[in-house]
Structure 1
Amino acid sequence: MKLTANALETTLSPPPEPGLTPDEVVARAEAVARDLVGRQAETERRGFYAEDTHELFRRSGFYRILVPRRYGGYEFGVGTFMRVVVELSRGCPSTGWMYCLGAAHAHAVATLFGERAQAEIFAGGDFVCPATVAPSGTGERAPDGRWAISGTWRYCSGSPYATHFMGHTLVDDGDGERRPLLFVAPRSEFTRLDDWGEQLGLRGSGSHGIRIEDGSVPDHFTLDTHLSQVNVTGGTPGRDLHGNPMYGGGPLSFMILEDAALAVGMAKGALDAYEELMRSRRTLFPPVVPRTHDPDFQYWYGEAAGLVHAAETGLLGAVRQWEEVSSTGPEHVTPERELQIASVCREVVRMSWRAVEGYLFPTAGSSAVRNGERMERVWRDMSMQQSHAGIAVFLFTAANRELSRARFGVRAP
């Protein structure tokens, strides 16, 4: 990692395991995921993964993957983080979702906020910060310069073990207009609601609502922007502070990479479940043979496997593009390039879903899709992902138009 002069002036705080490598942390995720398979039902009943799982994640370094090294993190990079997300989602979609959307926002904080804010926000080392993009509540400047924030924000995945919360509200710009304000609230300023678990899927994803009542947020924990609208072509505080281009990459495309990683992990879990059925069950109609010997099941498995493998390859390619664009300089991280990466992720999500919805779920057999069966659960969870606003509203719809406008220099109406 190339360090700037500013970064060299500060002594780096070593993480708990200074010698830990990216491959080792991914291997830990693979091992954890195998145990998560058998705990999916309890995770759904609880609404979030267990305390001992949280503690294991903490000891394994998962909450520090994207945290800068100067604050006790591992700073392993986007590729490592997405590989961990894939493995955890493969074992338990709800757990992978909750982990991803809780730990991912270390990247946004380390990229967009100044040194003072980062030093305070990352002071605990482990960082879990759910976020929402829909503005809600109210924010008013207090006499001491802080922000008095109140409101309720829904679908805050990762909230059960959150150390912080990243949200948006609309504030008066002084001219009678309302502008978005992005803020990071410490755990002391919010309450988690008991309002999650009755949805179709991802019932164990810890996507509870968060309420803030007269919360006090320092001004340096806020930004006059919306996370999806940030333009980093002029550089970022994080790139300058840490000397790492990862903290100069686009937050919007980073969020879309999360969607793709979750989809690939869930589809791989469905393929695992289908393989178990292939090895353990026989066909219903003569000639009655093991499914592994039946031409139709061979075809269905092969079609799905090809889609899942292609989706994973697309994810890795999108991650590589994101890293390459970030490393070439801030001027190259344009909205068009971010949307090009998002378009790759769109196809990753589509291929993952098509493998499950088109081949694995319909042919697994009715007994394999009873309530609580692994295949049934993955289908529910992936169906829930398809309804997510970031997928259905943005990625499958708005992003297409925005990419075309960026390419041809057309202003949005």
Structure 2
Amino acid sequence: MSKHLTLAVAERDAAETFAHGAVEPDTIMERIDALRPWLRSMQMEAERQRRVPQETVERLAETGAYDLAIPPRFGGADFSARDLFRIYEALGRGCGATAWTLWASTGGNMWSAAFADEVVRPVFDAPWTGNRTCAVGGSTRRLSGTARRVDGGWMVKGAWPFATGSVHASHAYLATFYDETDDTKVGMVLLPRDSYELREDWDAMGLAATGSGTIVVAEDLFVPDERFSTPQMLIERLARLKERGFGLRPGGLGRSIMVGTGNALGMAEHALELFVDGIGKKGIAYSPYSRQADAPITHLNVGYATMQIKAARRVAETALDDLDRLHELGEDVTPVETVRLHADAGFIWDTCATAIEALFKASGASGIAKKQPLQLVARNCRAGSMHAVHNIQTCMENYGRQLCGVELAVTSANVLERVG
């Protein structure tokens, strides 16, 4: 078969897969809403297991939500930013750790384009329940592995911590530095599950159920050239995919972190619901109020928390509108807009976490019992706000520097961001 005919067949197959598409977002939403009681009932068991329980994975797979973690050209979801946000919000109202794990698992969608389709397609064509891949970008050598050039490929080894989604994944995208002295020389390898060890060393105060253990390749592992790629190779392949009509929606990591803020809003809504449901059932000790619902301080707490959640939502809606409008115009975000998206996301996560913590504090001493779900929601949301891409202090400093016209120095970034 000629080269041109081979390409034509590949494009036809891709078009047929793409046309098949994923479950509609409204259908996924309805199914997640129906699953919410189960997700809430399993939150504490998930934390105990330090992973999303297998039965939850199986039930979530039936909703079609894992289509979000499949590249569109292989039949995955190609939803608007607002639809993705709504799905993560619905999941966050049920279990924030489950929502986080699904969100993190979409990180490999872009990097799937860095490898030839004949390499990546089998990953997504194989029968599988849950997320098929996980991705670890690694902004420093401490958080990545190394790659050494040999005939026909690379010798890779290292340790990749915080590998969210790795427990249920069949493959992993892992960042590797391939020059001993130059930190700009970073690439990505695609490894099957049987080629690495997964340490169960994830034990955190929040988002404990995400199973974000460390992936380890202790000894040199040969990785053929077709399973190694770089940001430049990704850019070139993305351009070719765009020419064929399979380009990514605009925004890159900025878009990803913005749609993921739906999880923060979902957890905040859950926390407000829990608090309001409880205020008529108990009083406030050492006070004249036999019902917490009658106390002015309760009214103030509910009012402030509600306004904080509304403010966070307004920020999210503006950013989501901008992202979807850029898609309609066929334009991508600028570096300036990316900084703002990070600031928006940092504000949303911090504001939601602060609102939840105020409600938790107002719930009284009985709220510290681990059987009470509000304390778990509070810990999960605050943990999410502390992720590097959401850190309010870093995000606001960078945004403020931009607003003040101060030139931004070179900053660290993981390989998932080194595109464009």
TM range (shorter): 0.7 to 0.9
Q: 1:373 is matched with which residue?
A: 372
Deviation track 1:355-407 (CA, whole Å, cap 9, x = no partner) reads 122x2121111101223421111222233234323333xx5316743774599
Matched, 1:188 2:207: no
* Secondary structure at the counterpart of residue 391 of structure 1: coil
* Secondary structure at the counterpart of residue 243 of structure 2: helix
Query: Following the alignment from structure 1 to structure 2, what is the Cα–Cα distance between the partners of residues 68 and 262?
Result: 21
Per the TM alignment, residue 302 of structure 1 is displaced from its structure 2 partner at its CA by: 1.7
Q: 2:225 is matched with which residue?
A: 219
Q: 1:54 is matched with which residue?
A: 57
Q: 2:342 is matched with which residue?
A: 342
Q: 1:133 is matched with which residue?
A: 137
Per the TM alignment, residue 91 of structure 1 is displaced from its structure 2 partner at its CA by: 1.7
Query: Following the alignment from structure 1 to structure 2, what is the Cα–Cα distance between the partners of residues 49 and 195?
Result: 15
Deviation track 1:6-38 (CA, whole Å, cap 9, x = no partner) reads 997345455999683211101212222221112
Residues 301 and 313 (structure 1 numbering): CA distance in 2 closer, same or farther, change over 3 Å? Answer: same
In angstroms, what is the RMSD of aligned CA positions? Answer: 3.4
Pick which of 214-223 and 127-136 moved more. Answer: 214-223
Q: 2:254 is matched with which residue?
A: 253
Per the TM alignment, residue 56 of structure 1 is displaced from its structure 2 partner at its CA by: 1.4
**Number of matched pairs:** 395
Matched, 1:149 2:156: yes
Per the TM alignment, residue 300 of structure 1 is displaced from its structure 2 partner at its CA by: 0.9
Matched, 1:276 2:281: no
User: Is the 2:11–2:244 Cα contact (8 Å) retained in structure 1?
Assistant: no
Q: 1:40 is matched with which residue?
A: 43
Per the TM alignment, residue 311 of structure 1 is displaced from its structure 2 partner at its CA by: 1.6
Deviation track 1:250-282 (CA, whole Å, cap 9, x = no partner) reads 322034225523322222222122122124323
Per the TM alignment, residue 69 of structure 1 is displaced from its structure 2 partner at its CA by: 4.5
Per the TM alignment, residue 112 of structure 1 is displaced from its structure 2 partner at its CA by: 5.2
Query: Following the alignment from structure 1 to structure 2, what is the Cα–Cα distance between the partners of residues 14 and 371?
Result: 46
Query: Following the alignment from structure 2 to structure 1, what is the Cα–Cα distance between the partners of residues 120 and 243?
Result: 13
Q: 2:293 is matched with which residue?
A: 292
Residues 231 and 346 (structure 1 numbering): CA distance in 2 closer, same or farther, change over 3 Å? Answer: farther
User: Is the 1:264–1:308 Cα contact (8 Å) retained in structure 2?
Assistant: yes
Per the TM alignment, residue 237 of structure 1 is displaced from its structure 2 partner at its CA by: 4.4
Residues 19 and 238 (structure 1 numbering): CA distance in 2 closer, same or farther, change over 3 Å? Answer: closer
User: Is the 2:339–2:398 Cα contact (8 Å) retained in structure 1?
Assistant: no
Residues 350 and 277 (structure 1 numbering): CA distance in 2 closer, same or farther, change over 3 Å? Answer: same
Q: 1:86 is matched with which residue?
A: 89
Matched, 1:412 2:391: no
TM-score between both structures, scaled by the size of structure 1: 0.83
Q: 2:5 is matched with which residue?
A: none
* Secondary structure at the counterpart of residue 131 of structure 1: strand
Query: Following the alignment from structure 2 to structure 1, what is the Cα–Cα distance between the partners of residues 235 and 263?
Result: 25
User: Is the 1:67–1:73 Cα contact (8 Å) retained in structure 2?
Assistant: yes
Q: 1:355 is matched with which residue?
A: 355
* Secondary structure at the counterpart of residue 54 of structure 1: helix
User: Is the 1:26–1:80 Cα contact (8 Å) retained in structure 2?
Assistant: no
Per the TM alignment, residue 210 of structure 1 is displaced from its structure 2 partner at its CA by: 0.8
* Secondary structure at the counterpart of residue 280 of structure 1: coil
Q: 2:413 is matched with which residue?
A: none
Deviation track 1:49-71 (CA, whole Å, cap 9, x = no partner) reads 21111111222211113534442
User: Is the 2:69–2:132 Cα contact (8 Å) retained in structure 1?
Assistant: no
User: Is the 1:282–1:290 Cα contact (8 Å) retained in structure 2?
Assistant: yes
Query: Following the alignment from structure 1 to structure 2, what is the Cα–Cα distance between the partners of residues 317 and 163?
Result: 36
1:34 maps to a residue whose letter is P
Residues 351 and 237 (structure 1 numbering): CA distance in 2 closer, same or farther, change over 3 Å? Answer: farther
1:49 maps to a residue whose letter is V
1:138 maps to a residue whose letter is T
Query: Following the alignment from structure 1 to structure 2, what is the Cα–Cα distance between the partners of residues 32 and 237?
Result: 39
2:267 maps to a residue whose letter is M
Residues 388 and 74 (structure 1 numbering): CA distance in 2 closer, same or farther, change over 3 Å? Answer: closer
Residues 58 and 116 (structure 1 numbering): CA distance in 2 closer, same or farther, change over 3 Å? Answer: same
2:125 maps to a residue whose letter is A
User: Is the 2:147–2:157 Cα contact (8 Å) retained in structure 1?
Assistant: yes
Q: 1:203 is matched with which residue?
A: 208
Query: Following the alignment from structure 1 to structure 2, what is the Cα–Cα distance between the partners of residues 113 and 288?
Result: 64
* Secondary structure at the counterpart of residue 133 of structure 2: coil
Percent identity, please: 23
Q: 1:159 is matched with which residue?
A: 166
Query: Following the alignment from structure 2 to structure 1, what is the Cα–Cα distance between the partners of residues 384 and 43?
Result: 17
Residues 324 and 378 (structure 1 numbering): CA distance in 2 closer, same or farther, change over 3 Å? Answer: same
1:73 maps to a residue whose letter is G
1:139 maps to a residue whose letter is A
Matched, 1:388 2:387: yes
Within 5 Å, give how 1:48-127 maps onto structure 2: 48-65=51-68, 67-102=70-105, 104-109=106-111, 115-124=117-126, 127=131
TM-score between both structures, scaled by the size of structure 2: 0.82
User: Is the 1:137–1:169 Cα contact (8 Å) retained in structure 2?
Assistant: yes
Deviation track 1:182-202 (CA, whole Å, cap 9, x = no partner) reads 2332323222112123x2222
Per the TM alignment, residue 130 of structure 1 is displaced from its structure 2 partner at its CA by: 2.4
| Pick aligned residue for 1:397 from 390, 394, 397 | 394
